[in-house]
Amino acid sequence: MSTYVNTSVQHENELSQYKGVLVLGEQRDGKILSVTFELLTRGRALANDLGCELSCVLLGDHIDNLEEVVKRGADKVYFIKDASLKNFLPRPYSNAIVKLCRELKPEIIVAAATTTGRTVMPLVTSKLETGLTADCTELTIDPETKILLQTRPAIGGNIMATIKTPNHRPQMATVRPKSAKPAPIDPSRTGEVIVKEYEGATFFTPEKFLEYIKDTTQEVSIEEADIIVAGGKGMKNADGFKMVEELARILGAGVGATRDAVELGWTTYPHQIGLSGKTVSPKLYFAFGISGKIQHLAGMQTSEVIVAVDKDPDALIFRVADYGIVGDVFEVVPMLIEAFKKLKANA
């Protein structure tokens, strides 16, 4: 049996060596994903509160427009560049991030709660022997201790827990995509772009990336959508569910579904929102024919604005909705489709 490194309290002097906030950006095919800009909003607020620098790290084989990351709030942008980083693989990505963190010693690292962030952060955390809080909806600095306070929902969103990592650095958290607005471009901002090239051993892995297959049923990826139109059992059948998809198409929105709708075969699992599906926080969430079981609410109740249509006035979904219409989805949804069609035509 191998020996374990003791993760108990790091020495206090050691803690104070850690400075600065680092956010973990994401790219696909060299394009920086907008979730990176949301992280810059989060990171900038934390760095301002602490009076420290904000850095952003991106990994890939090539990345367009790294300057934009500076214009949107980073003081330093680290681009870890290697042909093997073209696609995300947990081992080379986590090894490279750990290497950079050992150089930079950031006091806080924030990533997005995407499939990438939620995979790489636990690996980085255990390699750095520190603590991690997943899927936060709020990050603040304790004004007295300057410690990061990480608030996240648990038990299906039925409780909120505030968590801290008092005696270990860096303090690590992932935050829900869409829970912050993307940082705007400020053309006057200046900063540094630093390209990091590490030796090949850093990126060695037995994992082999075979292929990426686009899900043709997701015209708009649910995790990245500003608007989600979701349907439940109240849509009655596959034909009824098509109204959900039609409105989504008109709005350029993602299509969401309850577990029932997926199990009835009206759409596929990648569309399932809730405890055993995806957790989303779009700007606008339409819930049609969804009663609002706890399992579904857990996946969507942090959405900015929630609109619900259901025939049952006591449906739980109305408790989390900002705007509720009690009525038959087959009467109301077609009216909505017409109204948005008109709106889009006039826009």
Partner 1 sequence: MLNIVVLVKQVPGTDNVKMDPETGVMIRSGKDTIINPLDENALAEAIRIKNSHENVKVTAISMGPDSAIKALKEAIAMGADEGVLISGRAFAGSDTIATAKAIAAAIKKLDSVDLIVCGERATDGETGQTGAMIAHYLDIPVETYVSAIEVKETSAILKRTVEGGFERIEVPYPVMATVNKDINEPGFPTLKGKLQAKQKTIPVYGPEALGLEPAELGLKGSPTRVVKVFSPKLSRDTIMKKANGTTEPVDELIKFLSGKDVI
Kindly identify the residues of this chain, within the stretch 72-101, that bind partner 1 according to CB under 8 A. Answer: 87, 89-91
The contact pattern for partner 1, residues 99-138, with x = CB under 8 A and - = no contact, is: ---------------xxx-xx-xxx-xxx-xxxxxxx---
Asked whether position 165 contacts partner 1 by CB under 8 A, the answer is: yes
Residue 188's φ and ψ, nearest 5 degrees, are -85, -10
- Mark 318-338 as b/e (b = at least 16 C-beta within 10 Å): bebbeebbeeebeebbeebbe
Asked whether position 158 contacts partner 1 by CB under 8 A, the answer is: yes
Q: Which window, 14-22, 183-191, 193-201, 220-228, contacts partner 1 (CB under 8 A)? A: 220-228
C-beta of 132: minimal distance to partner 1 in Å? Answer: 6
Nearest to 183 by CA among 54, 42, 41, 71: 41
Nearest to 78 by CA among 146, 129, 20: 20
C-beta of 185: minimal distance to partner 1 in Å? Answer: 19
C-beta of 9: minimal distance to partner 1 in Å? Answer: 9
Task: Single out the residue of 11, 13, 190, 213 in contact with partner 1 (rule: CB under 8 A).
Answer: 213
Asked whether position 214 contacts partner 1 by CB under 8 A, the answer is: yes
CA–CA distance from 43 to each of 189, 202, 284 (Å)? 16, 27, 24
- The whole-angstrom separation of Cα 52 and Cα 80 is 22
Closest to partner 1 by CB, 104 or 134? 134
Task: Single out the residue of 34, 140, 205, 249 in contact with partner 1 (rule: CB under 8 A).
Answer: 205
C-beta of 12: minimal distance to partner 1 in Å? Answer: 15
Asked whether position 164 contacts partner 1 by CB under 8 A, the answer is: yes
- The whole-angstrom separation of Cα 287 and Cα 70 is 38
- Mark 264-293 as b/e (b = at least 16 C-beta within 10 Å): bebbeebbbbbbebbbbbbebbbbbbbbbb
**Residues 253-292 within binding reach of partner 1 (CB under 8 A):** 268-270, 272, 275-277, 283-284
